[in-house]
Amino acid sequence: MMLRLFVGFFFLIIAFCPFSVWGASVGGPGDDNEKFQAGDMIMHHILDSHDWHVLDWKGHAVSVPLPIILFHEGKGLKVFSSSKFDHGHATHQGYNLVYGNTTSIEFVNEDGTKNIEETEKIWDISITKNVFSLILSILILLSVFITISNRYKKNQNKAPTGIQSLLEPIVIFVRDDIAKSAIGNKDYKKYLPFLLTVFFFIFLNNLLGLIPFFPGGANLTGNIAVPLVLAAMVFIITTLSGKKYYWQHIFAMPGVPKPVLLILTPIEIFGVFLKPLVLMIRLFANITAGHIIILSFFSMIFIFGEMSPVAGYGVSVFSGLFVLFMMTLELLVAFLQAYVFTLLAAMYFGMAVEEH
């Protein structure tokens, strides 16, 4: 079953690669015949945006528009579709969408120049691609686990079926092999809801990021803001949960001479902030690196396709094989990063509540 899935996925990649090369090589209406910029394409796909890019076809971008919600300190609230910007080629009510390292909205004068003073008054609270993916993942998790909870209440003392049987081993794994082992039988129940939420949130969004079409493809866990918030939650819970023995080992480690404490205590205090920082960087860097590698090998098709259509077709086979390998590896990474983040969070909680 798994082998047939991989083979089918490989031939799907090979089938679409020639069309991608042709679409990049042949200029469409409004196309300036500029050379393919791999770096711009990669950054555009891994960063957040105000629309959901689907594909490029002969010079035309096809995307799913998202709501633009702007609050201007002088002009009030404005709500409209991102399609009004026509992918940055049009202005709407004095606002313009600018593509760079990430998309941003500026206020422009009548002659099309940027009005810096008015731009600084804009509060952009739009539903971007990452925000939409965040809401979607929350709705998926709520619907799945509320359904499972209702089934457990309805079918008490009965064997799990369907999605229950799929997720119950994972829940037990997080409970027994992460929460209990790292925190202990006495205190693990207090932290288990948070650990389960974090694990499934990261795991689901890692998987959604691997889906190359709408509503997948958003690099949510590769957006530094999301790991930052998750790490901040871990830091706050650890700090509030810390018992006197935890703080004693940080500020005045028992049995250590006072001159040595002058060196160890600053290191321990620095470590309190360093631990959640490492959590954030590990999740962000691993997920982002995986996306960049996959997109880099896809870019080789377009780069060689500009040199020669034959070269583009030939490279597409090797790129497809390597992308298939990387996608398979990323499935493991999706689970592994969720596991590592949850395990380290549980270990920090365990250290905070450890008895004398």
Structural domain span for residue 268: 130-353
Does one domain contain both 163 and 240?
yes
Does one domain contain both 167 and 222?
yes
Within 10 A of 14 (CB to CB), how many other CB atoms are there? 16
What is the total count of domains within the chain?
A: 2
For the whole model, what pTM was predicted? Answer: 0.82
Q: Is residue 151 one of the residues assigned to a domain?
A: yes
Question: What's residue 34's pLDDT?
Answer: 66
Does one domain contain both 99 and 184?
no
Does one domain contain both 176 and 278?
yes
Distance, CA of 234 to CA of 167 (rounded, Å): 24
Q: Which of the residue ranges 29-33, 34-38, 270-274, 277-281 would you say has the lowest mean pLDDT?
A: 29-33
Distance, CA of 22 to CA of 16 (rounded, Å): 10
Q: Which of 101, 126, 151 is the last residue of a domain?
A: 126
Q: How confident is the model at residue 29 (pLDDT cuts 50, 70, 90)?
A: very low
Average pLDDT over residues 122-130: 88
Distance, CA of 156 to CA of 295 (rounded, Å): 47
Judge whether residue 182 has pLDDT over 80.
yes
Q: Is residue 28 one of the residues assigned to a domain?
A: no
Does one domain contain both 187 and 320?
yes
Sign of CA pseudo-dihedral 6, 7, 9, 14: positive
Judge whether residue 125 has pLDDT over 50.
yes
pLDDT digits (tens, 9 = 90+) for 270-300: 888 999 999 999 999 999 888 888 888 888 8
Does one domain contain both 76 and 142?
no
Does one domain contain both 178 and 276?
yes
CB 221, CB 206: distance < 8 Å = yes
CB 126, CB 51: distance < 8 Å = no
DSSP state of 84: G
Q: Is residue 3 one of the residues assigned to a domain?
A: no
Q: What is the DSSP track for 40-61?
A: HHHHHHHS--SEEEEEEETTEE
Q: Is residue 267 one of the residues assigned to a domain?
A: yes
Which of 258 and 225 is assigned the larger pLDDT?
225
3-class SS of residue 200? helix
Q: Is residue 26 one of the residues assigned to a domain?
A: no
Average pLDDT over residues 21-40: 51
Burial per residue of 301-330, b for 16 or more beta-carbon CB atoms within 10 angstroms, e otherwise: bbbbbeeeeebbbebbeebbebbbebbeeb
CB 44, CB 350: distance < 8 Å = no
Q: Which of 126, 158, 175 is the last residue of a domain?
A: 126
Percent above pLDDT 70 for the chain: 87
Question: What's residue 102's pLDDT?
Answer: 64
Does one domain contain both 113 and 175?
no
Question: What's residue 57's pLDDT?
Answer: 66
Q: Which of 110, 126, 142 is the last residue of a domain?
A: 126
Q: Is residue 17 one of the residues assigned to a domain?
A: no
Token pair of 221 as six digits: 């866990």
Q: Is residue 13 one of the residues assigned to a domain?
A: no
Q: Is residue 4 one of the residues assigned to a domain?
A: no
Does one domain contain both 117 and 138?
no
pLDDT digits (tens, 9 = 90+) for 10-23: 444 444 444 433 33
Does one domain contain both 145 and 107?
no
Does one domain contain both 153 and 216?
yes
Does one domain contain both 173 and 113?
no
What does the H/E/C string look like for 270-290? HHHHHHHHHHHHHHHHHHHHH
Q: What is the DSSP track for 112-153?
A: S-B-HHHHTTEEE----HHHHHHHHHHHHHHHHHHHHHHHHH
